[in-house]
Structures are given as C-alpha cells and as structure tokens.
C-alpha cells in the first residue's frame, strides 16, 4: 500500500485478555518498528525488525509483550494478560533499511488500546 497501515484502529478489551495488534509496512520496507505512546507523551521505542529478524527488543516492558514478523512483512505485536496500564496508542513505523541510522521512519495511524 501507499503507507503504513495498522489494525484495528481501536481496541477495547477487558483486563486479563490477550490482544494482537497488526502492522502492515510500506511495501518493500525492510525495517519495522513498534512504539507505545501514552497520552501527553512522545512515542517510546518497543522493538524493531530487519526483515524477519528481531534486532532489538530492549524496549518491551515485560514478558507479556512480544512481537513477530515471520515473513519479513506484516508484524504482530501481542500483549498477553492485558492490564489497565497497557492502555496507550501503539504505533508502527517502517523504513527502507538501505540508509542505516540516517533514514526516515514512516508511521502508521496507530492502534488505540483501552484495557478496562
């Protein structure tokens, strides 16, 4: 597609349920990133992939959070046993992966997660 897409756009779930958030990057983009953005704050890095390999997951807050990108394209961020503190906007970004650290990341619209 023309840009990064994420689904669902909104997710309301009950505490203790698992949720899966999907990101479809810009076609051909090698690198994919997940961020979490709390209200009134800037995005906070969670994890990133080059192709299907998870290169850095140091931002994942605990072991309830996991991410995969099995075919090097679409990625899923999974939160198990959700807690109210997980409520936030979850953003995905992609970049071409050809220019290293100087390249621009392009963001999707985000998934707003609300845990009741």
Partner 1 sequence: AQSVAQPEDQVNVAEGNPLTVKCTYSVSGNPYLFWYVQYPNRGLQFLLKYITGDNLVKGSYGFEAEFNKSQTSFHLKKPSALVSDSALYFCAVRPPLDSWGKFQFGAGTQVVVTP
Binding of partner 1 by 104 (CB under 8 A): yes
Binding of partner 1 by 31 (CB under 8 A): yes
Tokens describing residue 4: 């990064």
Shortest separation between residue 12's beta carbon and partner 1, angstroms: 17
Residue 35 class from Cβ within 10 Å (0-12 exposed, 13-18 middle, 19+ buried)? buried
Shortest separation between residue 40's beta carbon and partner 1, angstroms: 7
With CB under 8 A as the contact rule, the residue among 75, 82, 94, 105 that binds partner 1 is: 105
Binding of partner 1 by 109 (CB under 8 A): yes
Shortest separation between residue 16's beta carbon and partner 1, angstroms: 29
Q: Strand runs (DSSP E) across 1-116, as ranges?
A: 5-7, 10-13, 19-24, 31-37, 44-50, 53-56, 65-68, 75-79, 88-95, 106-107, 111-115
Binding of partner 1 by 87 (CB under 8 A): no
Shortest separation between residue 42's beta carbon and partner 1, angstroms: 3
Alpha-carbon dihedral sign for residues 70, 5, 109, 104: positive
Residues forming the site for partner 1 (CB under 8 A): 3-4, 31, 33, 35, 40-45, 47-48, 50, 55-56, 58-59, 91, 93, 100-102, 104-110
């Amino acid at each position: 597609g023309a840009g990064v897409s994420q689904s669902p756009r909104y997710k309301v779930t009950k505490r203790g349920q698992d949720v899966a958030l999907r990101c479809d990057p810009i076609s051909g983009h090698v690198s994919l990133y997940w961020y979490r953005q709390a209200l009134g704050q800037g995005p906070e890095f969670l994890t990133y992939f080059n192709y299907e390999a998870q290169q850095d997951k140091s931002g994942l807050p605990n072991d309830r959070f996991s991410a995969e990108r099995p075919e090097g394209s679409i990625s899923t961020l999974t939160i198990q046993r959700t807690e109210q503190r997980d409520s936030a906007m979850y953003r995905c970004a992609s970049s071409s992966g050809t220019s290293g650290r100087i390249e621009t990341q392009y963001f999707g619209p985000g998934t707003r997660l609300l845990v009741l």
